[in-house]
Amino acid sequence: MKILQKVTNGILLVIIGILHTQLVVSPDGCGKQFFKFSESYFFKISSGLDQLPAEVGKTDFETFATFWFFYFGILIIPLGLLVHSIEKSKKTLPHSFTISYFIVVLIGCYMIPKSGMTFFMLPQAIYMLVSNYLKARKAGSSH
């Protein structure tokens, strides 16, 4: 059980980011679209505003979804490292951050209910909110 004591919210965020990135590059995930990105050396992967307003036949939804899934995975890794460094220094995360993160995850769960947002990120967001609250409460009572 000591390994569970070493797992921080930051590590969980890094794992989520790595899983996102891994799914994008895997052949069973978005590998086809990712390979298409690599053909242009990841430069100008879509025609951008030319595909808006979004409509069938005009917008390449697979490319947009793959890009955002990949980009979110990449973005969440440094966020996880930052959260991890704060937690490892025995400090609490800002309450405004944990609440904001929880709200963003709830909105994502509402918008895409049967997704990793619901099955992985919601439990992690609840855990972050509760564990950080308990840590802050404990720190406050020790003073």
Q: What is the mean pLDDT of residues 23-43?
A: 83
Task: Look at the pTM and tell me if it is higher than 0.95.
Answer: no
* Segment among 31-35, 98-102, 118-122 with least mean pLDDT: 31-35
Among positive and negative, which fits the CA dihedral 76, 79, 84, 85? positive
Confidence of residue 38 (pLDDT cuts 50, 70, 90): confident
* Segment among 5-9, 19-23, 127-131 with least mean pLDDT: 5-9
Q: What is the tens place of the pLDDT at every residue in 106-118?
A: 999 999 888 888 9
Cis upstream peptide for 94 (omega within 30°):
no
What integer pLDDT is reported at residue 143 of this predicted model?
58
The half-sphere exposure of 111 on its side-chain side, counting CA atoms within 13 A, is 7
- The mean pLDDT of the chain is 85
Radius of gyration of the chain (CA): 18
- pLDDT, greater one: 128 or 48: 128
CA torsion, points 18, 19, 21, 25, in degrees to nearest 10?
A: 130
pLDDT over 60 at 1, yes or no: no
Q: What is the rounded distance in angstroms from the CA atom of residue 115 to the CA atom of residue 16?
A: 13
Q: What is the tens place of the pLDDT at every residue in 57-79?
A: 777 778 778 888 888 899 999 99
Q: H-helix or E-strand containing 85? A: helix 61-88
What integer pLDDT is reported at residue 27 of this predicted model?
86
What integer pLDDT is reported at residue 107 of this predicted model?
95
How many CB atoms are located within 10 Å of the residue 106 CB?
A: 16
Q: What is the rounded distance in angstroms from the CA atom of residue 112 to the CA atom of residue 106?
A: 10
